[in-house]
Structure 1
Amino acid sequence: MNAERPTLLRCAGRTVARYTTRPPLALDHAPRPYLHPVTTLSGRVVTETVPEDHPHHLGAGVAVPDVAGHNFWGGRTFVRGRGSVELDNHGVQRHDGFKLCDPDGFVEELTWWAAGERLLREHRTVAATALTDTAWALDLTFSLVNVSGRDLSIGSPATNGRPGAAYGGFFWRAPKEAAAPVVFGAREDGEEAVHGARCDWVALAGDGWTLVFAGATETTRRDPWFVRAVEYPGVGSSLAHDGRLPVPAGETFVRRVVTVVADGRLDRSGAAALVRKAVAS
């Protein structure tokens, strides 16, 4: 992939995110488009990319560790009976072009390639919407169709034998600070309570910022959340939590996640109010 200038995303008259379509990264990072830096309206950065603890974490985007055995997450692959091992199995999310590219959002076409084979075609929509003077929402929808001509399935380290590691799908890596961020849901408190739950939304509150993630897919049951706070700050969806997700040949699945990006620390009622407004926008 050749590096190119990031696409800017604007909201309320300010640049709030940069979207890199062709990152200049080694293949062990499973090259893929990503958003970074994403900022609050006051300019505080709330994403991280290539951190020392997990150099394959790339801001906010879509990443899956196991598509028919191919790694679109980056780093090591968890293999049942062997643990995390280095494998030559990394895939690439290739940016094919924009169908629409406006200051406040875009519609992108991508192809997921691995071992010279086209596995999935993706239609991705990203939009930025102002909510208040101190908060805006990032609305990301991805639609994946199996174009391989054969049945596929999506897995995770959890479905491959590593309990508690059902990551894969939408993922947001936040910046690591001196103290771990506070985690809470609509009724839950703490990382352990929220991780793996199918709650309506999850909040991550750091030093002067709050992110609130809402599962907003209309046609499927809500995916469980993957949440980390103490080890590193990150929140994502779990496409393959209890078992592999089958994707038959020619079939499509869709996911939508809306993220509230706010200055300051929101409480539960404030987070809930902004989520309702963001999802309805």
Structure 2
Amino acid sequence: MIPSPSAALATNRPSAPQALVTHSTGRALPVTSAPRPYLHPIRSLAGTAVTEAEPADHPHHLGLSLAFSDLNGTNFWGGSTFTPGHGPKLLPNHGTQVPWGWQHTTRGAAGSVTWRSKSGKEVALERRSFHYLGHPDPKTWSLSVASVMVPGADVEELVVSSSAVKGRHGAGYGGIFWRFGACAGDPVILSAAGDGEAAAHGSLSSWLSISMKNDGEPVSVVLFQEVREPRIPARGSERLLPWFVRADGYLGAGPAVAWAEPARATSDHPLRLSLNAVIHDGPVDTSTHALELIQQHPRISHTRTPDRTP
């Protein structure tokens, strides 16, 4: 039996499941941050934070959140907008994600999110859920995020773009994004594509491992995408997405929905996104260790075996 986070907490520093995750509505954020719900802090079982929110370098980065720099022409990422020929510019085009109907338990949270443009138009409707799960490793717990988005009222199609699509090389960020906090020294980044940021960035590795030292304590977050079995046809984003990974200037990562071309969704073919994480107290400095932790995530039985390519 896989212990739940609450059971594991009985012998660790935090005293309640809520100590592992804090869910914020984001309603008090400034307009330029594209207000939205997010998770921060997310902590390891030993209490080490593995997220950052509103950092000085990018005040619109918000722990673990879902955001796009361009969804039907609205900036739901926050900060500047990349404009072809002019570069990044701060424009009055920021949208807001409004959470409603959320229910929270010790094992997760689920609810709806309405995506509204600056004018208040309903651009998209989303159903989002978080699951807080146990893990056989006593120094580890598991997290899963899932989202299903459809066009809002009077919107025929969702079109997700990115700065990369508009001409900014490598800036395909947008989707489920994890902003890590400042760490001592260089993080250890591993993926099926190889070691380091350069190998992982833009790769179609099914997994990504990031190890760091926060407040002097080694801690690791291993992320992996769910992949349907080959016999089940993939639709839209139900296939592997390229990773956006940055370790220069700040540390952040997430699967990129519009890496090189726009992504589209309709009511009949929603935009489906998911991400799974293993939060581990200690270093993960080999692919073998990362894959061992992934294999024991409770969701792995519903996914294909992660790519073991070295």
**Fold shared per TM-score above 0.5:** yes
* Alpha-carbon contact 1:142-1:255 (below 8 Å) kept: yes
The residue identity in structure 2 corresponding to 1:255 is: L
TM-score, normalising length: structure 1: 0.92
Q: Partner residue of 2:226?
A: 216
Q: Partner residue of 1:191?
A: 197
Q: Partner residue of 1:275?
A: 294
SS in 1 for 2:159: strand
SS in 2 for 1:12: helix
Q: For 1:88 and 1:29, how far apart are their aligned partners in 2?
A: 11
Deviation at 1:230, TM superposition (A): 2.3
Q: Partner residue of 2:163?
A: 157
Identity of aligned residues (%): 34
Q: Which has the higher strand share?
A: 1
Q: For 1:151 and 1:55, how far apart are their aligned partners in 2?
A: 30
**Which stretch of the first structure deviates more once superposed, 218-227 or 163-172?**
218-227
* Alpha-carbon contact 2:39-2:63 (below 8 Å) kept: yes
* Alpha-carbon contact 2:164-2:170 (below 8 Å) kept: yes
Q: For 2:193 and 2:287, how far apart are their aligned partners in 1?
A: 8
Q: Partner residue of 1:108?
A: 111
- 1:24 aligned to which of 28, 40, 65: 28
In structure 1, list runs of 5 or more residues that go unmatched. 1-8
**Which stretch of the first structure deviates more once superposed, 153-162 or 16-25?**
16-25
The residue identity in structure 2 corresponding to 1:280 is: I
Q: Partner residue of 1:226?
A: 244
Q: Partner residue of 2:182?
A: 176
Q: For 2:256 and 2:62, how far apart are their aligned partners in 1?
A: 17
SS in 1 for 2:195: coil
Q: Which aligned pairs between 1:1-281 and structure 2 lie closer than 5 A?
A: 12-13=8-9, 14=16, 15-98=19-102, 100-114=103-117, 115-131=119-135, 132-147=137-152, 148-207=154-213, 208-218=218-228, 219=234, 220-248=238-266, 251-266=269-284, 267-278=286-297, 279-280=299-300
Deviation at 1:182, TM superposition (A): 1.2
SS in 2 for 1:139: strand
Deviation at 1:273, TM superposition (A): 1.2
Q: For 1:237 and 1:10, how far apart are their aligned partners in 2?
A: 29
Q: For 1:112 and 1:222, how far apart are their aligned partners in 2?
A: 25
> Deviations along 1:192-235, whole A, 9 cap, x unmatched?
00000010101111010111110115342100000011221111
Deviation at 1:109, TM superposition (A): 0.7
Q: For 1:10 and 1:255, how far apart are their aligned partners in 2?
A: 27
The residue identity in structure 2 corresponding to 1:85 is: K
Q: Partner residue of 2:308?
A: none
Q: In terms of Rg, which structure is larger?
A: 2
Q: Partner residue of 2:13?
A: none
Deviation at 1:178, TM superposition (A): 3.2
* Alpha-carbon contact 2:189-2:197 (below 8 Å) kept: yes
* Alpha-carbon contact 2:150-2:266 (below 8 Å) kept: no
Q: Partner residue of 1:5?
A: none
Q: For 1:217 and 1:57, how far apart are their aligned partners in 2?
A: 27
* Alpha-carbon contact 1:156-1:167 (below 8 Å) kept: yes
Deviation at 1:247, TM superposition (A): 2.1
The residue identity in structure 2 corresponding to 1:105 is: G
RMSD (Å), alpha carbons: 1.6
The residue identity in structure 2 corresponding to 1:239 is: V
SS in 2 for 1:24: coil
Q: For 1:228 and 1:23, how far apart are their aligned partners in 2?
A: 27
**Which stretch of the first structure deviates more once superposed, 13-22 or 117-126?**
13-22
Q: For 2:248 and 2:26, how far apart are their aligned partners in 1?
A: 31
TM-score, normalising length: structure 2: 0.84
SS in 1 for 2:112: strand
**Which stretch of the first structure deviates more once superposed, 63-72 or 247-256?**
247-256
Runs of 4+ in 1 over 6 A off after TM superposition: none
1:191 to 1:22, Cα distance in 2 relative to 1, 3 A: closer
Deviation at 1:171, TM superposition (A): 0.3
Q: Partner residue of 1:6?
A: none
The residue identity in structure 2 corresponding to 1:145 is: V
